[in-house]
Amino acid sequence: MVRIEHLNFHYQNSQESSLKDICLEIKTGECILLCGESGCGKTTLTRLLNGLIPHYYEGTLEGKTEVFGMEIAQTPLEKISEKVGSVFQNPRSQFFCVDTTGELAFGCENLGLPEEEIRHRIHETVQEMQIESLLDRNIFCLSGGEKQKIACASISTMKPDLFVLDEPTSNLDTDAIEKLAEILALWKRNGKTIVIAEHRLGWLSTLADRIIFMQNGAITAEYQNGEFFSKSNEELNDLGLRGIHLQTDYLHTKTGFFSCQPESQFSAENYQFCNFRYAYRKKQPVLNIPDFSIPKNAVVAVVGHNGAGKSTFSKCLCGLQKNFKGTVRNGKQVYQSKKLRNLCYFVMQDVNHQLFADSVLEEVMLGMHEPNQQTAMDILARMELATLKDRHPMSLSGGQKQRTAICSAFLSDREILIFDEPTSGLDFRRMQETAKLIHELSQEKTIFIVTHDMELIEKCCTHILHLEKIKEQS
């Protein structure tokens, strides 16, 4: 059982409290969904349950948190990890090994279990989760969905009593989400307790027993499953939450390039994409697109299952892949190799790799042809980042970092912008604001969005580029 009594928490150097008078009791075997807008305190609450607060994140903590008989503040982190397993939004942040099998063993090794017991647990977990094909693989060669499976499996082998998950579906396609749901269902059948903070809600309709709604660091409402999941999209949107009833699942539409809006509204001027083919180290091709064209100012959703080649396509388009021979033509202009870098601006899925400046304001001004502080402040204000202008980008939350990178792209002087999962971890309101900004920006630029976010596609995309994984040739 988990019991939180009148808990308050204030991060060190933060101006406001992140958790306010939290009182919550979770029964053994329950699945609890934490939801609310970004910044409402969901992630902070998960950090409290797994001991990262106060043992890693420093601040002022008041109140009591007890997890399966342990007072969190008084229990060493290594002892907490025996009872509580965590799966983070970005599974790469919790990997310690290069190979998958070693990763499955790592947690058990740190618990000091005998080798025979570790092998037994790995075998048991692999069979239960049906991930035999993922054994003895290089973790860095896995798709996003496969990495998430390994993250879940590595925690499962440790057999904790409580599983804590923070935005685990933010970078997964719909099929991978279904597989993750099966894993959670397995944990529930085994009597495990699950707490999950999420923005994408529909997949939890058969799993969540109770839904805890948070605002400004406080629990403001609690719902039973049927009461919550019977709400309409409009009712959920009014709460700042994502809808759960989508019109179209573009992942399961036809493969190839097609328009989802009338072509008559677009300019006759096109970009021609030729010979977009790529294979890593002369092995099995991961990308094979002979040619296609899009009108200027289109907003193209690049969709496909995890591992279909979407990120590879993006890197090729930006000129970031060595030995890529493809070209982009615009009238008489031909862009290839290094010239593609001057044509395109790429916002990565993991934005930590592209934050360089000492402040948010400096960061978003880096790509401006003629730096203009007022223009930069205007875009920061629209993305609710103006008050953070002097903060170091690496001190921001995941969602804030994402929005900072989006602002940098908007202010760049490149003709084509590519966003890799720009709304991962964003709530409904900020997703909607991002969609609006993308729509406005498309009046001047052409945009590609690699995404699994069907709501974002519905709101701002004009075309779909649907990629499928190339079948291996015998």
178 & 56 share domain: yes
Tell me, yes or no, whether 270 lies in a domain. yes
Encode pLDDT of 87-142 as tens digits.
987 777 789 999 999 999 999 998 899 999 999 999 999 998 888 989 999 988 88
Whether residue 435 sits in one domain with residue 287: yes
**111 and 55 share a domain?**
yes
User: pLDDT for 389-431, tens place per residue?
Assistant: 998 888 787 678 878 988 898 888 889 999 988 888 788 888 8
Give the pLDDT confidence score for residue 300 in this predicted structure: 96
3-state secondary structure of 417: strand
Give residue 263's pLDDT: 67
Residues 206 and 328 reside in one and the same domain: no
Would you state the pLDDT for residue 474? 46
| Other C-beta atoms lying within 10 Å of the C-beta of residue 338 | 8
Among residues 209, 238, 267, which one ends one of the domains?
238
Instruction: Tell me the helices (H) and strands (E) count for the chain, helix number first.
Output: 16, 20
Same domain assignment for residues 299 and 422 = yes
- The whole-number pLDDT of residue 413 equals 82
Residues 6+ apart with CB under 8 A from 99: 136, 137, 138, 139
**pTM, full prediction:** 0.81
Q: How many domains does the chain have?
A: 2
Does any domain span residue 471? no
286 and 169: one domain? Answer: no
Residue 37, domain CATH: 3.40.50.300
**Within a domain: 472:** no
207 and 133, same domain (yes or no): yes
Name residue, tokens 């082998």. 157
**Residue 282: predicted pLDDT:** 64
Q: Which tokens in the block code for residue 152?
A: 């879940």
Alpha carbon of residue 24 to chain centroid: 27
- Tell whether 245 is covered by a domain: no
**Six-digit token pair at 249?**
């699942």
Determine, yes or no, domain membership for 474: no
212, 238, 264: which is the final residue of a domain?
238
pLDDT attached to residue 164? 96
Q: Which letter does DSSP use for residue 99 in this model?
A: B
For residues 315 and 321, the answer to whether their CB atoms sit within 8 Å is: yes
The answer to whether residue 243 sits within a structural domain is no
Residues of the chain with pLDDT under 50: 474
DSSP 8-state class, residue 297: T
**Residue at a domain's end among 189, 209, 238:** 238
Pair 229, 358 in one domain:
no
Question: 273 in a domain, yes or no?
Answer: yes
Asked if residue 54 has a cis previous peptide bond (ω within 30° of 0), the answer is yes
Claim to verify: residue 441 and residue 357 sit in the same structural domain: yes
DSSP 385-399: -GGGTTS-GGGS-HH
150 shares its domain with 20? yes
Q: Is residue 33 part of a domain?
A: yes
412: number of Cβ within 10 Å: 18
Full domain range(s) for residue 170 = 2-238
Residues 399 and 339 in one domain: yes
Say if residue 196 is in the same domain as residue 266.
Answer: no
Q: State which H helix or E strand residue 273 sits in.
A: strand 270-279
